[in-house]
Amino acid sequence: MHSSNRAPPATEVDVFSALANPVRREILVRLRRGPRAASALAQGFKIGRPAVSEHLQVLRKARLVREEPRGRERYYHLDPRPLSEIETWLAAFDKYWKERLAALDVLLKESKGNEST
C-alpha cells in the first residue's frame, strides 16, 4: 500500500483507478471462476481483443491479476490481495454509516414515543 502523499511508481496502477472501469470489473468477476485465457476473457465484450488486452495490462499493473504463459496463450489469474486496500478504505465509511443509522434509529424511536403521549 502506498502512503497517501506518494504517487505509485509509473509501472504500477492504483487499485481504485483499475476498478473505475466497468470492463475491468467484469474481467475480475470472470476470473473469480478461475484462470482464463486472454482470448476467452475477450469474448462477450463489445470491444476488440486489443482493448481487452489493454485492460488486462492495467489490471496486471494494479497487481489484481497475474499472467501465466501457456504455449501461445496467456492465462490470467485473479489476485485479490490488493483489494484489501479498498476494504480498509471502505471500513471507515461502514463505521460512519452504522453510527449514523443507529442515531437515526434512536431519533425515530424518541419521535414515536413523543407522538404516543
- Interval 13-52: pLDDT, tens: 899 999 999 999 999 999 999 999 999 999 999 999 999 9
Coil, strand or helix: which one is 45? coil
pLDDT over threshold 80, residue 81:
yes
pTM of the model: 0.72
From the number of C-beta atoms within 10 Å of its C-beta (0-12, 13-18, 19+), residue 110 rates as exposed
Helix (H) or strand (E) run with residue 68 in it: strand 65-70
